[in-house]
Amino acid sequence: MGYTIIYMLLSYCLQYQQVPILCYHNISKADDGKEDLLHISEKHFQQQMQYLYNNGYTAITPDGLYAHMNGGAPLPSKSIMITFDDSHETHYSLAVPVLNQFHFRGVFFIMTVCLNKTGWLTASEIRDMSDQGHIIACHTWDHTNLALHPSYNVNEQIVKPKALLEKITGTSVCYFAFPYGEWNEQAIKDLKQANYIGAFQLASHQQSTDPNFTVRRIMVSGKWTAVQLKEAIDKAFILP
Ligand SMILES: [Zn+2]
């Protein structure tokens, strides 16, 4: 109840529609029963996407969300965003085929330190995902917690990964996800300086003073049924 009041007030203050944004991490082939907020099996991921598809959701991109937030561009009535953190190779081999099956576009936040290493996304996979219409975005070089380590190297963590991902995809890379969802004002300032348009965090409140750089997401448990996914979405986001 407390959350509901807070988010109703927030929606009123921000003057735009809240869009549920889901955050996935590891996706595994096997359904080994060890699923949690960081792990989901291909089967359960497929079931969750099927639920969203059956219930009329449209997966929007960051460009669509920011056009709505900043200029009132209309969104589909049941909008959702489906994001993936940390560059796991299974994002390409397991998640993308499921997304494509339902005509959902995903948003992939890449940490470039593991590029081309075993078990992690390769440059050609990232390029192919981008060419297929999925969105490639940045998640630092090596997953440094920017809020916890304020002396981080801006060039290494924020500037160079953007340039590298732009070279790989041949498109602009304008969005960022804070490792661990943790952010502070200095990190936001550095992102703006490096020409990012916006950034995604996790569960702390979106800031009315800087909403573009504090967009909220929820981590999805691999254990959730479709009904539990719906309940989590409804609890976290005030929807039209
Ligand atoms: Zn991460």
Q: What is the pLDDT of residue 1?
A: 44
Distance 85 CA to ligand 1 centre (A): 5
* d(C-alpha 26, C-alpha 44), whole Å: 12
Helices (H), the chain: 2-14, 42-54, 62-71, 90, 96-101, 123-131, 154, 160-169, 185-193, 226-236
Distance 121 CA to ligand 1 centre (A): 14
User: Do residues 102 and 49 touch, judged by C-beta distance below 8 A?
Assistant: yes
Blockwise average pLDDT, block size 10, the chain, 240 residues: 51 70 94 84 95 96 96 92 98 98 98 97 98 98 96 98 98 98 96 98 87 95 91 80
Distance 86 CA to ligand 1 centre (A): 5
Distance 175 CA to ligand 1 centre (A): 14
212 DSSP 8-state letter: G
Q: What is the pLDDT of residue 240?
A: 57
196 DSSP 8-state letter: -
Phi-psi domain of 20 (left: phi exceeds 0; alpha: psi -120 through 50; beta: other): beta
Distances (CA, A) of 150 to 51, 63, 137, 153: 41, 29, 22, 9
**Closest of 163, 143, 164 to residue 88, by C-alpha:** 143
Distance 77 CA to ligand 1 centre (A): 29
Distance 143 CA to ligand 1 centre (A): 6
Distance 129 CA to ligand 1 centre (A): 19
36 DSSP 8-state letter: B
The highest-level CATH class for domain 19-218 is alpha beta
* d(C-alpha 186, C-alpha 132), whole Å: 34
Three-class DSSP labels, 131-159: HCCCEEEECCCCCCCCCCCCCCCHHHHHH
Distance 74 CA to ligand 1 centre (A): 30
Q: What is the pLDDT of residue 60?
A: 97
